[in-house]
Amino acid sequence: MPGAPEGSLRVEALGPQHDRGSFVSGAEALDRYLRSQAGQDARKNMAAPFVLVLPDGAIGGYYTLSATGMKLAEFPADITRKLPRYPLVPATLLGRLAVDRNYQGRGYGRFLLADALHRAVRSEIASFAVIVDAKDEAARQFYLRESFLPLPDQPMKLFRPMEDLAKLFEG
C-alpha cells in the first residue's frame, strides 16, 4: 500500500513509555481515548492499541484492533453466498485510527492503516474481514479510497474481506 511516510518510523504496541499527553488529532473523543482509556483497554485485553512512534519519540498517530463478530445478514448477499450459515461471522475491528494534527497530510494515516491491515492478515485467529465504523463522512471517504466496502444497511460501517487483504500483502 503506497503512502508510507519518510524516516525511521515504527509502529509498536502502546506502553507506559509512550507520552500520550501531547497527542492532539482534532477529534476530542479520539484524543481522550488515547490519553485516558487506551492503556486500560490494553491491560484488560479489550483492544490492542498501537502507536506510530516518530524519530523524536513523539506519538504521530495510533490505531486499535480487537476481535468482533458480525451478523451474517449484515454483509452483502453476494459476499455471504459462499459462507457457512453461522449466525455470527468472526471479524477484526479497527476501532480507532487517528493522526496527530501536526503530522496530518503526510501519509501517516495510510501508513497506520497498512500496518493495521497487515497485522490483521498475519493474525492466527480466524477473521473473515476487517470492520471499521467511520466517525464522519471524511473518514468514510478515506476508507472507501482504501477499497473498503460499505455494509448495505449501515453506510458508515465498512469492511474489507481478509481474502482481499491477504492478496494485497502477498510476496
Residues annotated as catalytic (active site), given as ranges: 143
Please count the CA atoms within 13 angstroms of the CA of 70 that sit on its side-chain side.
Answer: 26
End-to-end Cα distance, the chain: 13
Cα Rg, the chain, nearest whole Å:
16
Residues 132 and 149: their CA atoms lie apart, in Å, by 10
Query: Residue 97 to residues 118, 127, 156: CA-CA distances in angstroms?
Result: 15, 20, 15
Residues 93 and 159: their CA atoms lie apart, in Å, by 9
What one-letter code names the amino acid at 111? F
- 8 Å CB contact between 76 and 82: no
Which of 78, 166, 86, 97 lies closest to 129 in space, CA to CA?
166
Measured in whole angstroms, the distance separating CA 61 from the mean position of its chain's CA atoms is 11
